[in-house]
Copies of this chain bind each other. A is one copy, B any other.
Amino acid sequence: MADKIFRVNMTDLTAKVEDVPEAWMGLGGRGLTSTVVAAEVDPTCNPLGSKNKLVFAPGLLSGTTAANSGRLSCGGKSPLTGTIKEANAGGTSAQLLARLGIKALIIEGQPKGDKWYNLHVTEDGVTINEETETLGMGNFKVVETINERLGAKTGVITIGPAGEMKMLAANISVKDPDNHIRSNGRGGLGAVMGSKKIKFISVEPTMNKVEIADPEAFKTANRTFAKALVDNPITQALAQYGTNVLVNIINEAGGLPTKNFTQGQFAGHEAISGETMHDTIVARGGKPKHNCHPGCVINCSQVYADMQGGYRTSGFEYETIWAFGADCCIDNLDQVAEADNILDDLGLDSIEIPVAFAVAMEAGVLEFGDGAEVIRILREEIGKGTPLGRIIGCGAGSVGRTYGITRVPVVKNQAIPAYDPRAIKGIGITYATSTMGADHTMGYTIATNVLGVGGSLDPLSKEGQVELSRNLQIATAAIDSTGMCLFIAFAALDDATCLPALIDLINARFGIGLVADDVTNLGKTILKTEHEFNLKAGFTNLDDRLPEFFKEEPIAPHNVVWDISDEAIDSFWDF
C-alpha cells in the first residue's frame, strides 16, 4: 500500500488521511518536512499561533533494516529563531511511523479553549483524545504512563513541562528502545507542540514491514553500508567514548568555548572528557555503549550511572557536557549528568539551556562553576516556570536581552554550539549561513578542520572554509532526508564504498535509479527551499552574521578573532 499523509487539524479537532502529492514522493525526513513547511506555512506567521504547522516525517529509509536509518524529522517555523526548522532524533517512532505507511504527519491549527489532547496514530489514521493524566508530567513519567496505558512497544513523541509552558528552548522527546529520551532538540519545536495543546503522540506498534522493491539488492547494499560504518576509525572512537571523545580533541585545538566564550581551552577538561566518562561508566557498571534507535551499528550513546550504579542519564553528548562543563566551568561530570537528566525530563534543548546558563553567569545571576545552583535552578525555577526559569528556558538570547548582556553567543537567536568559530573558522560559516540559526549539525566542518575526515583544512585559515561548509551543508541536507544518523558522514567522506551503498539502498527500496548527482541536487534543493522560506519571513544576509564580540575579542590560545568577510559569507549562497 502506498504511503499516506496523515493530517490533523487541532482547530476543529479533525483528522484525515491523504494521498502523497507527486512532488513529495521522492522526499523523506528533513527534505519532506522543509518542503511541506515551505509549501503550507505562511513564513511571516507567529510560530506559536494557529497558522504554524508541525510536521513529522520518517526518513526515506526509515522502517527498513538499513543500518542507522531510524531518525525522525520534525519541522515547522521555529519560535526561537523565526526561521524554518528541522530537528531530528532517534528513538523508536520513525520506524513505527514508516511501517504504518505514514510519509508525514502534519499537525495544523490550534484549539481555542484550555483543553489538552493526545494523538494516537495507527495505520488507519489519527485519533484526537482529550488528555489530562499526563499534564505537567516530566518526560520519563509520561513514557512510563503511556507504556502502562498502551503497552511498552508503543512509540511515544512527547513534550515535557517546558513545552507545555511554551518555553522557546523546549524540545520534542522521542522514546528510545530502553524507555529513555531522545530529543528533536533545537529551535523550540516543543513550544509549537505545546501551542497546539498536544501533550504527546502515541504510535501503535506494528508487525508491518516497509515494502522493498528489490530485497536482494537492498540486503547486499546494506551489508556494504554497515561494514563501511563499523570499519571507520571515527565511528569506532564514537563507539568507545561517545561524542564526548571530542572534549580533549577540541580543547587541544583551542576551540573549546570556555566561560561564556572567553577562552578556547578549559582547565578542567580532563574531568569531563570522554575518556573520564568512559572509565567512570565502566567502574560504576553503567553501559558504555548503547543505541538510540534499533538498527544502529555505531552505538555512540551510553548509560551514565550514578555512584550507586543506578541510571543517571543516557545519550550523554559532547555538546551538553561541553556547555555545562567548559562554557559554564562546571568540572564535575556527575553534576553535568544530573543536569542533562533534568533537561531530558523537562524537555529542553541541552545546548541552548547550558549556553543560556553561561550568559546568566556572566550577568551575575549565579557564579561560573556553580553546578549545584544550576541543578537547583533547573528543578525549582525552570521546572516550575518561575520568571527566572522562563528567562533561561527561553534560551541564551532571552537571558542576554533580559540582563542587558552584549556577549551572547547566538546566531538568529539560537545558541552557538561547542566549537569556537574564531579558532575553527569553517564552523563559523555554518553557524552564520545555516537556515536554522547556529547549528553545528547543519555542516559539520569539524570533520575536515580538525578530524582530518574528507581531507584536511587548516581551521585557522580563511581559505576554503565557505566551500567546505557549503559542500557539507548540501550533503547534510540530503542525509537528513534519508532517516540516516548524521554520523554516517564520517564513513561517507572517507570510505569509497559507503555513499554508493547508501544510494543503492534508496534505489532498492523504491525501485528507482538515483545517481550521486541526484543526491547532491536533492541537498541543494532542500537548502534553497529553506533559504527561500527565511527570506520570505524577513531574513536578509545581514542575519547571516556572528555576534559582534567574535570580531573584537581575540580568543586564547591562538589569539584569533572572527575575520571572515561579510562578502565571503554571502558567497555561500552562490550555487
What residues make up the interface of A, taking CB atoms closer than 8 Å to B? Answer: 44-46, 48-49, 51, 79, 165-168, 191, 194-195, 386-388, 390-391, 394, 398, 401-404, 406, 536-538, 540, 542-543, 545, 547-549
Integer count of this chain's copies in the complex: 2
Identity of the chain B residue whose Cβ is nearest the Cβ of A391 in the assembled complex: B387
Mostly helix, strand, loop or mixed at chain A's interface? loop
Known: A394-B401, A540-B538. A406 touches B548 (CB 8 A): no
Known: A386-B387, A538-B542. A547 touches B404 (CB 8 A): no
Q: Shortest distance in angstroms between A81's beta carbon and chain B's nearest beta carbon?
A: 12
A402–B406 CB distance below 8 A: no
Known: A387-B387, A391-B387. A404 touches B195 (CB 8 A): yes
User: Which residues on the B side are within 8 Å of A545 (C-beta)?
Assistant: 44
- Cα separation A544 to B549 with both chains bound (whole Å): 29
Known: A46-B406, A538-B540, A547-B46. A390 touches B390 (CB 8 A): no
- Cα separation A79 to B168 with both chains bound (whole Å): 21
- Cα separation A537 to B386 with both chains bound (whole Å): 34
Q: Which of B44, B401, B548 contacts A398 (CB 8 A)?
A: B401
- Cα separation A401 to B397 with both chains bound (whole Å): 11
A548–B49 CB distance below 8 A: yes
User: Which residues on the B side are within 8 Å of A542 (C-beta)?
Assistant: 44, 536-538
A51–B540 CB distance below 8 A: no
B538–A401 CB distance below 8 A: no
Q: Shortest distance in angstroms between A385's beta carbon and chain B's nearest beta carbon?
A: 9
Q: Shortest distance in angstroms between A136's beta carbon and chain B's nearest beta carbon?
A: 15
Q: Which of A45, A46, A49, A401 has the most CB of B within 10 A?
A: A401
- Cα separation A547 to B548 with both chains bound (whole Å): 29
Q: Which of B165, B403, B540 contacts A404 (CB 8 A)?
A: B165
Known: A51-B548, A391-B390, A391-B391. A404 touches B166 (CB 8 A): yes
Q: Shortest distance in angstroms between A405's beta carbon and chain B's nearest beta carbon?
A: 8
6 pairs of residues in contact across A and B, judged by CB atoms under 8 Å:
A49-B548, A194-B404, A195-B404, A394-B402, A536-B542, A537-B542
User: Which residues on the B side are within 8 Å of A403 (C-beta)?
Assistant: 166, 390
- Cα separation A168 to B45 with both chains bound (whole Å): 25
A46-B548, A195-B404, A391-B391 are known contacts; what are 18 more A-B pairs with Cβ within 8 Å? A44-B542, A45-B548, A46-B547, A49-B548, A49-B549, A79-B404, A166-B403, A166-B404, A191-B404, A194-B404, A386-B387, A387-B387, A387-B388, A387-B391, A390-B402, A402-B402, A536-B542, A540-B540
User: Which residues on the B side are within 8 Å of A548 (C-beta)?
Assistant: 45-46, 49, 51
